[in-house]
Every structure is written in C-alpha cells, then in structure tokens.
C-alpha cells in the first residue's frame, strides 16, 4: 500500500539524550512521516539540544518550562499536529520506530480509526524483563476491559495511533503516565473502530533509565476506575463522545488509494 506523508509522530521526551538522536533518525527515515513533534518535558540533560541540532525540516521542538509528565507533553504536542493520522512514540527506543508503518496500516487500509500496538499478542521480539511489570500490565488491562467491555490485551502500550481528531479533540485531564488509561477509557466510549497489532518490545531496566514504577501502577488503577465511571458525568466528555461519533462516518475512507481524509477534511472544531 502507498503510504503518503500524512503521519504525525509525537515524541514526549525527558532526559533521553542517550537515545533521542537514534529515535529521530529512525522516524525521519520513514516514508509515511510528514511531521515529527518532540516535546521536551523540562529535561536537565542535552535532549533538547540534540533535537534542535537534528537538521530535518520535519522535526519541530516544543519545550516545557519544567517537567510536567508524559500526559502534559502529549497534550501540548498533539495540539500542533496538522496530519491526518497521529502516533505517539516514546523517546527511549523501547519501541522500534521501524514498526510504525505496521501499526498504522489498519488505519490507512480504512479498517480502523484507532490502533494499539500490543506487547502481548504474538510478537517478533521482546526483552525478558520484570515479571511484576508484566503482571501489573495484565491486571490493569483486565480491569479496564471489565469496565469498557473491550477485549484489549495491552492498554498501557506506548504505541497508540489515531485519526488525529480523536486524540486532538479529547479532553485529557490526567497527569504523569495516566494518559494511557484515560485515552483508552475515552476511545472506548466512542464508536471508533479499535484494532490491536503485535509489536516488538525492547524494555529497559531501571539502571538503563526506565522511569515507570509502583506508584504509577497504583495511579493507573485509580485512573481506570475514575475515567470509566465518575469522569463521564462531565458534560465536556459526553459532548466529545457525541461529536466524535457524529464525525466518524464522514472521516472513514473505503477507497484503497485514499483511505484517510486530508487534514482540512478532518477538522471538526472544538
């Protein structure tokens, strides 16, 4: 399938000077990428300097004045997207950017509106790492599935791709790593066709810079309960669901030569 440049890659980054250059080189080499938006989340190392010096017209650097967490970085980044499709890419090489075309393919084929890259489906390669993280991810996904009535396998995955307005218009209010849970809860309330595809996972150890910990897992459990129940009383969230559901039929394409609407057609207004 022909993959025209109509993909935005949003990269939240915090103190990732060791890997951000490699991530940018791999993403910039993809023929489907139109824009790469890096949000430096108050890094105290040379992350921002490496991005600024990268030298590709597709790369834009946004800088947070202080560290505010992954959720805040993603919120800032997606508001600058002009492409029809958006994917979130971590800056630490736990996810291989060369698999991005495979992740977005169900959207480009006109079959999906949202795609999650799952670390727990049949996969190519996965580093043997922390058993407790594996159990924690499975427990959180199971509880989420109970509340959303979706049969997902990996809600905490860092690879999530969207028809852009689904993410850009979303009222995100969580913090830290809560964005993974909140996005899943909100998408599950809409009629968005959600797919999973298997991906490789090259997890880091804590010695290598892994940041997520036990407190993040406890927070994720609270977010699952909150965003699937109490949060939906909020009129803004209910309005978002109605707006996305009304827009989705016109956004979908069945023509294999142009499966995704152009950015101007995707604008649905806030």
Q: Where are the domains of the chain?
A: 7-253
Closest CA to 87 of 68, 105, 69, 109: 105
User: Treating both helix axes as pointing N-terminal to C-terminal, what angle do 179-189 and 70-78 enclose, rounded to 10 degrees?
Assistant: 50
**Please, which pLDDT band fits residue 261 given cuts at 50, 70 and 90?**
very low
246-258 confidence digits (pLDDT tens): 999 998 854 444 4
- Following DSSP, what letter does each residue of 163-183 receive, concatenated? EHHHHHT------TTTHHHHH
**Please, which pLDDT band fits residue 216 given cuts at 50, 70 and 90?**
low
Closest CA to 227 of 191, 174, 182, 183: 182
63-79 confidence digits (pLDDT tens): 999 999 999 999 999 99
Query: Which range, of 1-5, 82-86, 156-160, 174-178, averages the lowest pLDDT?
Result: 1-5
14-33 confidence digits (pLDDT tens): 999 999 999 999 999 999 99
135-174 confidence digits (pLDDT tens): 777 888 888 889 989 999 998 898 999 999 999 999 999 9
> Looking at domain 7-253, which of 3.90.550.10, 3.40.50.300, 3.40.50.720, 3.40.50.10420 is its CATH number?
3.90.550.10
d(CA 129, CA 204): 8
């Amino acid at each position: 399938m022909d993959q025209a440049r109509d993909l935005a890659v949003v990269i939240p980054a915090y103190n990732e000077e060791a890997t951000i250059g490699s991530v940018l080189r791999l993403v910039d080499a993809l023929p489907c990428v139109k824009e790469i938006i890096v949000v430096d989340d108050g890094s105290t190392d040379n992350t921002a300097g490496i991005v600024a010096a990268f030298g590709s017209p597709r790369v834009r650097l946004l800088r947070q004045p202080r560290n505010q967490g992954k959720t805040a970085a993603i919120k800032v980044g997606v508001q600058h997207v002009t492409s029809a499709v958006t994917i979130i890419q971590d800056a630490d090489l736990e996810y291989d950017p060369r698999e991005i075309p495979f992740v977005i393919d169900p959207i480009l084929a006109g079959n999906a509106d949202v795609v999650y890259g799952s670390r727990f489906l049949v996969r190519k390669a996965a580093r043997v790492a922390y058993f407790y993280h594996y159990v924690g991810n499975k427990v959180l996904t199971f509880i989420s599935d109970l509340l959303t009535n979706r049969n997902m396998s990996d809600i905490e995955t860092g690879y999530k791709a969207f028809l852009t307005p689904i993410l850009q218009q979303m009222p995100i209010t969580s913090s830290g790593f809560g964005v993974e849970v909140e996005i899943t809860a909100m998408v599950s309330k809409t009629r968005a066709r959600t797919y999973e595809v298997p991906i490789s996972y090259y997890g880091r150890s804590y010695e290598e810079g892994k940041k997520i910990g036990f407190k993040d897992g406890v927070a994720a459990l609270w977010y699952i309960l909150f965003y699937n129940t109490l949060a939906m009383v909020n009129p803004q969230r209910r309005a978002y669901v109605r707006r996305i559901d009304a827009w989705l039929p016109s956004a979908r394409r069945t023509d294999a030569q142009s499966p995704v609407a152009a950015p101007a057609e995707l604008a649905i207004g806030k």
